Amino acid sequence: MSTRGQARELDDQRDSRQVTASQQVWAGPIFTIQDEQIALAPGAEPVRRQTVAHHDAVSIVAWREGADSSQDDGAAEILLVRQYRHPVRADLWEVPAGLLDVAGEAPAVAAGRELAEETDYEAGTWHTLVDYYASPGFTTEGCRSFLARDL
């Protein structure tokens, strides 16, 4: 958030709303589903919510320009990969990405691994862009996005 001439760091706040009941209702190799009851306000009747517990992920904005660009004029470009995504029944163009599903693997290491696996590129320079939740209305999956340069 910013106002004219001023910037402020955004900081998501953890919440202490009480979970009054929780049950794992399904488990698979990629995620689990929790059925929970939450008291949204003191003394309020609990509401029911289902949560998909999922590994966190990384995504990579792989940037190339100048002599590294595939454009005749050296214009900047971002590498995309095409992957089949079953939930939407489509082949989608997207930035390289992957799960943090290797025990103890740092996000930056996972990002380098995913970039190499999906594009056959390595990056000489890495910057963290943003941490965010992929779809916080129903899943715990967080994502760290990186800018990869000097491919």
Of the residues 8, 34, 53, the one at which a domain ends: 53
> Which of 74, 76, 75, 78 has its CA nearest to residue 62?
78
Domain range spanning residue 86? Answer: 55-149
Whole-angstrom CA distances from 97 to 8, 49, 55, 119 are 29, 28, 13, 11
How far, in Å, CA of 63 to CA of 99, rounded?
Answer: 21
Predicted pLDDT of residue 10: 77
Predicted pLDDT of residue 9: 77
pLDDT, tens digit (0-9, with 9 covering 90-100), for 77-124 = 999 999 999 999 999 999 999 999 999 999 999 999 999 999 999 999
Whether residue 77 sits in one domain with residue 143: yes
Whether residue 66 sits in one domain with residue 135: yes
Residue appearing with tokens 């994502």: 143
Q: Indicate the DSSP class of residue 119.
A: H
pLDDT-derived band at 39 (thresholds 50, 70, 90) equals very high
Global confidence as pTM: 0.87
How far, in Å, CA of 50 to CA of 108, rounded?
Answer: 31
- Is residue 2's pLDDT more than 60? no
Total domains present in the chain: 2
Is 119 a domain residue?
yes
Mean pLDDT across 24-50: 95
What tokens were used for 95?
């930035």
Is 104 a domain residue?
yes
Contact assessment for residue 20 and residue 46, using Cβ atoms and an 8 Å cutoff: yes
Whether residue 48 sits in one domain with residue 101: no
Residue 144 sits in a domain whose CATH number is 3.90.79.10
pLDDT, tens digit (0-9, with 9 covering 90-100), for 128-147 = 999 999 999 999 999 999 99
Sequence-distant (6+) residues with CB within 8 A of 24 are 32, 33, 34, 35
